[in-house]
Amino acid sequence: MSRTVKIVEDILSANDDLAFQNRSKLQNSHTLGINVMASPGSGKTSVILQTIKALQAEYQIGVVEGDTAAVTIDADKIISAGMPAVQINTGGSCHLDAVMLSKALPELPLENIDLLIVENVGNLICPAAFTLGTHFNIVIASVPEGDDKPYKYPNIYRGIDALILNKIDLLPYIDFDIAYFKRGVQILNPDVRFFDLSCKTGEGIDAWANFLRDRIEGFRS
């Protein structure tokens, strides 16, 4: 085994150990954690804001925002919506990892948070390799990105629990084959749950919110 491979294995193993600790912290505070992955411009923050709007009367929601630059635009939007948020500046790194999340968790009142949404860095490659300690993973895709992404970036779709196809209001104007797109995902992940929605029109938000309600209540029981 080459030294390069051994170093990579050591890094991932250390990350997984810390991810287990992060999971334990969430478990102890009865906080359900989800890791949101997507490419830039898919509408991650918009989906999160719509999720908060749909669930804020029932649950307290916290958000961890990952970004490659020291900007707080997205975190400020979450705070303005009335929910606690922490910004992680990755210093140019293309993903969040368990170390970064472990430093953010103490900055949040986890004991008062029912759902923690971790918005990973916009990237369809790196985030797939690093577990964070959240309870499940989702990917947000969007119509303008094109319907070939599952075929070009397969690893991000493996092991996720749900996939949101955002910006479906643009379907009349963009050549996007939904059947082709979903077939590519299902080849990689037959059990994935699909949610077609539009943050602009609100279509599909209720179905997504109900999915989260079921997960939160199941986690509590």
In this model, does residue 144 exceed pLDDT 90? yes
Mean pLDDT value across residues 120-136:
94
In the structure, what pLDDT confidence band is assigned to residue 4 with cuts at 50, 70 and 90?
very low
Domain that holds residue 108: 3-220
pLDDT digits (tens, 9 = 90+) for 147-188: 999 999 999 999 899 999 999 999 999 999 999 999 999 999
Joined tokens for residue 178: 């939904």
pLDDT bucket at 16, cuts 50 / 70 / 90: very high
Residue 172 belongs to domain with CATH number: 3.40.50.300
Q: How far is CA 53 from the centre of its chain?
A: 17
Could you give phi then psi for residue 7, rounded to 5 degrees? -65, -45
Q: How many domains does the chain have?
A: 1
Tokens of 160: 């996720």
What is the C-alpha to C-alpha distance for residues 53 and 123, in angstroms, rounded to an integer? 26
Nearest to 120 by CA among 143, 141, 137: 137
